[in-house]
Amino acid sequence: MVEENVQFLVPQDTYLKSGIHIGTKFRTKYMEQFIYKTRPDGLTVLNLQKIDERINVAARFLSQFQPEEIIIVSRRENGWKAVRAFGRATGCRFYAGRYPPGTLTNLALKNFTQAKIILVCDSWPDRNAIMDANRVGIPVISLCDSNNTSNNIDLVVPCNNKGKKSLGLFFYILAREYMRNMGKIGKDEDISVPLDDFIEE
C-alpha cells in the first residue's frame, strides 16, 4: 500500500489507527483510482499515499484563501466535533448540522453570506451546500469515500468520511497544514487545538 521512505503528514500508524483508509462495501467508478484493495469481508481499502497527497493538496488549495472566505460543512453528526475544532483552530466558518439552502445564493435571507471556497464532509448529505457553491461559481472540496461520486466537485479527498476518528484526524491535519501554509505557525509547530479536541469519544 505504501512505498518505502514516503514522508507522510502524520506517522503511518496514526493514519491506520484512525481507520481513515477503510472504505465501504460499495465503490463508484470514479473512486476506483483511489482504492488499494478489497478485503475478504468486502470492505474496500483506500490508498493511504493518495489520501495523504490529497490532504496536502487540499491544505495548499485552502491556504490561497483567508479564514473568513472559507466555509466547512458537515451534515453528518460524526463530523460536528471535528469541524468545530477546525473552526476554533483556524478561524474558518462552519456549519455543523444542517446547512440552510440558499445561504450563499439568496440575498433576501437573514443568514445570507459570501464565501470563496467550501469544503464538505460528504457529497450526498452536503449536496445543498455543493449546489449553492456551484450556483455562485466557487470551488468545492469534498471528502469522498469509496461509494461517493465526484459530480460538481473540484477537488476530491479520498478517505473514510463516516468515522469519528477518521474525520477528527483529517480535520486536525488540515488545520495544522493550513496554519503552517498561511505562516500563522512555524513549519514544525503544532496548532493550539489538540488532536483530542477533534475526535468524538
Q: What is the CA 142 to chain-centroid distance, rounded?
A: 6
Cell of 168: 477528527
Counting every residue written for the chain, the total comes to 201
Question: Domains along the chain?
Answer: 12-184 (3.40.50.10490)
Q: How far is CA 31 from CA 5, 44, 68, 170, in A?
A: 26, 11, 31, 18
Model pTM? Answer: 0.95
Of the pLDDT bands very low, low, confident and very high (cuts 50, 70, 90), residue 160 is very high
Of the pLDDT bands very low, low, confident and very high (cuts 50, 70, 90), residue 200 is confident
Is-contact 10 169, C-beta < 8 A?
yes
Of the pLDDT bands very low, low, confident and very high (cuts 50, 70, 90), residue 21 is very high
**Mean per-residue pLDDT, 164-173:** 98
